[in-house]
Amino acid sequence: MKTEIIPVGTEILLGNIVDTDSSFLASELSSLGLDLYFISTVGDNHDRLFDTLKRAWERAGLIIVTGGLGPTQDDITREAIGMLVDEELRVDEALWQELRNLFSRYPGRIPEGNTKQAAVIPSAQVIHNSMGTAPGWWVEKDGHIIIALPGPPEEMKLMWQESVRPRLKQKTGEAIILSRTIKTFQVAEARVDELVAPISGLSNPTLATYINPDGVYLRITAKAQRREEAESLVRRTEEQVRAMLASHIWGVDDETLESVVGDLLRSRELRLATMESCTAGLLCTTVAGGRESCIFYRGGLLACSHEAKTALGVGVQPGEPHGEENLKVAKAMAETARQSLNADIGLGVGGRLSCDTNSGDVFTAIVWDEFDMTHTHRVRGNHLRMKQRATYAALFDLRRVLLERRINAPDH
Amino acid sequence: MKTEIIPVGTEILLGNIVDTDSSFLASELSSLGLDLYFISTVGDNHDRLFDTLKRAWERAGLIIVTGGLGPTQDDITREAIGMLVDEELRVDEALWQELRNLFSRYPGRIPEGNTKQAAVIPSAQVIHNSMGTAPGWWVEKDGHIIIALPGPPEEMKLMWQESVRPRLKQKTGEAIILSRTIKTFQVAEARVDELVAPISGLSNPTLATYINPDGVYLRITAKAQRREEAESLVRRTEEQVRAMLASHIWGVDDETLESVVGDLLRSRELRLATMESCTAGLLCTTVAGGRESCIFYRGGLLACSHEAKTALGVGVQPGEPHGEENLKVAKAMAETARQSLNADIGLGVGGRLSCDTNSGDVFTAIVWDEFDMTHTHRVRGNHLRMKQRATYAALFDLRRVLLERRINAPDH
């Protein structure tokens, strides 16, 4: 069924709040196999809300309105829906009693405005709000469904889970939408597009690519009547994608590069230490932020200058290093981290990031007992983006090394 | 001028990403005195995007489209705008050359798809993208302005700040909206509301409070025909607010705690070093992220375990420290940072953050030649929030110490 979400609230149009309700509802709708074509955000203005509702009525079978159900003057969702389906609002005595009971728990009398919240139209069924005073509406008329939900995310989500989702699931067959996100690094978005071109025309599953600091994501989305169907559709396409993108792929779905690297280290009982300069702490923060990092991560050193590197025991020539020397410095940093934090593996990241050219050269080094290796990376973007790219480049290198070489953990 | 934002992207309608671009743009537009009436989100579908653009053309003078400027097949914003203003797309050779130069820095040839990004229509002026390959568009036709920006938040924001905002500001002289944000720490939002209650009823300027990781913000917003009026409205209210919140205030507008602390250190030629545990790298990342941090920040140490602390030279008793001992450990960490990084001031942050109770105890220490001091802080929230609060608590302590005591820099 074609669906449209209508978030109502001037605070959204003023940028005072981020509308997270819509993204929650969007992913819920897609998991129900409902096609969301538009999210039409409008302010607390009666005419504009009415126009938006009318348009939605013309192009969608299911309309979900969030917000505008409060007790104040500028809460106009009830009135606008009444006008849309040409029905009059009347105070529902039972509902009004319910609200009064709710308020009787608190000191002070019930604010007059709240009678508004007890007003309903004949074809509206009230949806109980177990968290707040704003009841929701489920309206069915002329083959359309209009659902009005409160704006506050917690109230909206609870009402959705308790009452709306189950009921919608019955209405809307069992069409299932499954998606799988394949995560890559060190390959351009357009290049990913080229590589998967042979299957990019598919209508089911569909393919979509996104750029992220930790690389290009490729999302496979399949739609089917039964979960098994959807799963096998996704599986088959994922196999093709994996054959096409091969070594660029580092993870799927919720996996992060730090969690992938962390799992490899943990499973081999290896302990990591880092030393960084140009990433300005982002490397240690990212690694330490990974799942159960305390098990495999000893800690990290940040040196913001050559002086600081020397103070921490990194043997560097005075002055800016050049060419090969950069790799030597990165290696010395990795070794210093490893030794001073008594770890098995040292990861060093140095380099220069220019905010004038928005580009930089990053040098990574990985060091442990039997072996060490260094890499050079080119990064682009604003300062933050370059630091992110450098951090993920280092983790991507470490991941590959851990996969390619059997590093044995010494007996701890 | 009536404005409409059109976020383009199926990933938004599938709930895979939260559209933060719109809330950013919304608050920017309101600060420019532009009236945002609709945010119309649509997927990567040519017909639906075209319909949405046509409707926006009918009801808005300024249309801002975000997303759909990438190099892939489902990036259709350029085509749709061309169709809307009835102009043809042609590859701009200069732009194409620019893109080729961009790619020449990387191994491998430029992907064919990227020619798309060099295509423009006659009335489109290209907006340079200093972070990515997707150029923006500034289109003026028949009294309408259409601005197309890339979807990735960092790219969009940078392009907005660098090129779009200044240019829009010229176009839209009319009413001036000025706002001033007063930033506080270690005072609850409800308490801020109480303190400013005497003036919170104002309609111009208006007052609004927001909770942030680095404290509660209080925003004063004034609207006037002339800048001078708006400025004096804001100034008068700010004076009242300052009298009410006094010592809780640490900064205004774009100031960050790290930049405020950094300016104090720089002006006194003091060099800082940090050591942290429970903040997991957030302290050094935050300090290093501050303006010109390289001048005053030597670097930082992160120890993820007692073992690691010992390895780095912090003398700690085996086992979890208790009571007073926690402060001793924090002080030893500050001292270790100061010595091993050869700095004037050492800042140490340790403690325990419980994700079960969502609360934790944080111990901060500040050490330099003549003096040292320690503090205990209670933090609450999810893990990230607690780490942020601990980081800012440490910086807030350091700021107060720097203001209260005359720390003299040794001759460097």
- Residue in chain A lying closest to B275 (CA): A301
Whole-number Å distance between alpha carbons of A359 and A353: 6
- Closest residue to B40, CB basis, from A40, A305, A308: A40
Q: Are A364 and A348 in contact (CB under 8 A)?
A: yes
Query: A176-252 maps to which CATH number?
Result: 3.30.70.2860
Chain B contact present for A210, CB below 8 A: yes
Q: How many CB atoms lie within 10 A of CB B247?
A: 11
Q: Which of A370, A349, A339, A214 is nearest to A271 (CA)?
A: A339
Distance from first CA to last CA of chain A, Å, rounded?
A: 59
E strand spans, B32-72: 35-42, 62-66
CA B44 to chain centre: 29
pTM of the model: 0.74
Chain A contact present for B243, CB below 8 A: no
Q: Are B230 and B174 in contact (CB under 8 A)?
A: no
Q: Where are the alpha helices (DSSP H) in B246-352?
A: 257-267, 282-288, 293-296, 306-311, 324-340
Q: Which amino acid is at A209?
A: T
- Choosing among B13, B266, B298, which should be mutated to test the A contact, i.e. which has the most A CBs within 10 A? B13
pLDDT for B108 equals: 66
Residue-wise pLDDT for A53-75, tens only, equals 999 999 999 999 999 998 777 78
Residues 245-284 of B with CB under 8 A from A: 280-282, 284
Whole-number Å distance between alpha carbons of B132 and B130: 6
Q: Which of B11, B145, B164, B34 is nearest to B84 (CA)?
A: B145
Among positive and negative, which fits the CA dihedral B84, B89, B93, B95?
positive
pLDDT band at A393 (very low <50, low <70, confident <90, very high): very high
pLDDT band at A83 (very low <50, low <70, confident <90, very high): very high
φ, ψ for residue A322 (rounded to 5)?
Answer: -130, 150
φ, ψ for residue A145 (rounded to 5)?
Answer: -115, 125
Q: Are B220 and B234 in contact (CB under 8 A)?
A: yes
Q: Which CATH number fits domain A2-172: 3.40.980.10, 3.60.70.12, 3.40.50.10470, 3.40.228.10?
A: 3.40.980.10
pLDDT for B301 equals: 98
pLDDT for A310 equals: 94
Of residues A208 and A107, the one with the higher pLDDT is A208
Is A341–B27 a contact, with Cβ atoms under 8 angstroms apart?
no
pLDDT for A160 equals: 95
Whole-number Å distance between alpha carbons of B40 and A12: 12
CATH 3.40.980.10 residue window(s) in chain B: 2-172
- Choosing among A341, A355, A361, A388, which should be mutated to test the B contact, i.e. which has the most B CBs within 10 A? A341
Cβ-based contacts of A312 with chain B (< 8 Å): 299, 340-341
Q: Which of B302, B32, B290, B262 is nearest to B169 (CA)?
A: B32
Q: Are A139 and A78 in contact (CB under 8 A)?
A: no
Residue-wise pLDDT for A158-191, tens only, equals 899 999 999 998 887 667 778 899 999 988 888 8
Angstrom CA distances, A272 to A345, A403, B53, B298, stand at 5, 15, 52, 23
Tokens of A229: 């169907």
Secondary element (H or E) of residue B361: strand B359-368
Chain B contact present for A208, CB below 8 A: yes
pLDDT for A407 equals: 67
HSE (side-chain half, CA atoms, 13 Å) at B194: 5
φ, ψ for residue B109 (rounded to 5)?
Answer: -85, 165
Say whether pLDDT at A47 is over 70: yes
pLDDT for B211 equals: 74
Whole-number Å distance between alpha carbons of A126 and A137: 5
Residues 364-383 of A with CB under 8 A from B: 378, 380-382
pLDDT for B411 equals: 60
Say whether pLDDT at A106 is over 60: no
Pairing, β B62-66 against β B144-149: parallel
Q: Which of A20, A24, A43, A40 is nearest to A32 (CA)?
A: A24
Q: Are A326 and A351 in contact (CB under 8 A)?
A: yes
Q: Are B123 and B140 in contact (CB under 8 A)?
A: yes
pLDDT for B105 equals: 67
pLDDT for B410 equals: 67
HSE (side-chain half, CA atoms, 13 Å) at A308: 28
Whole-number Å distance between alpha carbons of B261 and B310: 29
Query: A257-405 maps to which CATH number?
Result: 3.90.950.20
CATH 3.90.950.20 residue window(s) in chain B: 257-405
Whole-number Å distance between alpha carbons of A298 and A288: 9
Secondary element (H or E) of residue B181: strand B176-184
Q: How many CB atoms lie within 10 A of CB A142?
A: 7
Task: Give bridge partners of residue A276 from the DSSP assignment.
Answer: A302, A349
CA A273 to chain centre: 28
Whole-number Å distance between alpha carbons of B106 and A105: 67
pLDDT for B408 equals: 66
Of residues B74 and A362, the one with the higher pLDDT is A362
Whole-number Å distance between alpha carbons of B63 and A299: 49
pLDDT for A117 equals: 87
Whole-number Å distance between alpha carbons of B168 and B153: 19
pLDDT band at A210 (very low <50, low <70, confident <90, very high): confident
Distance from CA of A141 to the nearest CA of B (A): 25
Among positive and negative, which fits the CA dihedral B105, B111, B112, B118?
negative
CATH 3.30.70.2860 residue window(s) in chain A: 176-252
Question: Could you tell me how many CB contacts below 8 A there are between chain A and chain B?
Answer: 244
Is A359–B105 a contact, with Cβ atoms under 8 angstroms apart?
yes
Residues of chain B with pLDDT under 50: none
State the Rg of chain B over Cα.
26
- Closest residue to A382, CB basis, from B41, B158, B287: B158
pLDDT for A173 equals: 67
Cβ-based contacts of A205 with chain B (< 8 Å): none
Chain B contact present for A157, CB below 8 A: no
- Residue in chain A lying closest to B109 (CA): A191
Residue-wise pLDDT for A115-146, tens only, equals 888 999 999 999 988 777 789 999 999 999 99
SS (H, E, C) chain A: CEEEEEEECHHHHCCCCCCHHHHHHHHHHHHCCCEEEEEEEECCCHHHHHHHHHHHHHHCCEEEEECCCCCCCCCCHHHHHHHHCCCCCEECHHHHHHHHHHHHCCCCCCCHHHHHHHEECCCEEEECCCCCCCCEEEEEECCEEEEEECCCHHHHHHHHHHHHHHHHHHHCCCCEEEEEEEEECCCCHHHHHHHCHHHHCCCCCEEEEEEECCEEEEEEEEEECCHHHHHHHHHHHHHHHHHHHHHHEEEECCCCHHHHHHHHHHHCCCCEEEEECCCCCHHHHHHHCCCCHHHHEEEEEEECCHHHHHHCCCCCCCCCCCCHHHHHHHHHHHHHHHHHCCCCEEEEEEEEEECCCCEEEEEEEEEECCEEEEEEEEEECCHHHHHHHHHHHHHHHHHHHHHHCCCCCCCC
CA A342 to chain centre: 36
Q: Which amino acid is at B332?
A: A
Cβ-based contacts of A293 with chain B (< 8 Å): 280, 304
Chain A contact present for B26, CB below 8 A: yes
Peptide bond into A205 cis (omega under 30): yes
Angle at A318 between CA A312 and CA A324, to 5 degrees: 95
Q: Which amino acid is at A29?
A: L
User: Position of tokens 């909770």?
Assistant: B211
Among positive and negative, which fits the CA dihedral A109, A110, A112, A113?
positive
Tokens of B279: 């903040």
Burial class (CB in 10 A: 0-12, 13-18, 19+), A300: buried
3-class DSSP assignment, residue B119:
strand
Task: Give bridge partners of residue A249 from the DSSP assignment.
Answer: A184
User: Position of tokens 């600091």?
Assistant: A213
Burial class (CB in 10 A: 0-12, 13-18, 19+), A147: buried
Q: How many CB atoms lie within 10 A of CB B187?
A: 17
Q: How many CB atoms lie within 10 A of CB B81?
A: 25
Tokens of B190: 């409800």
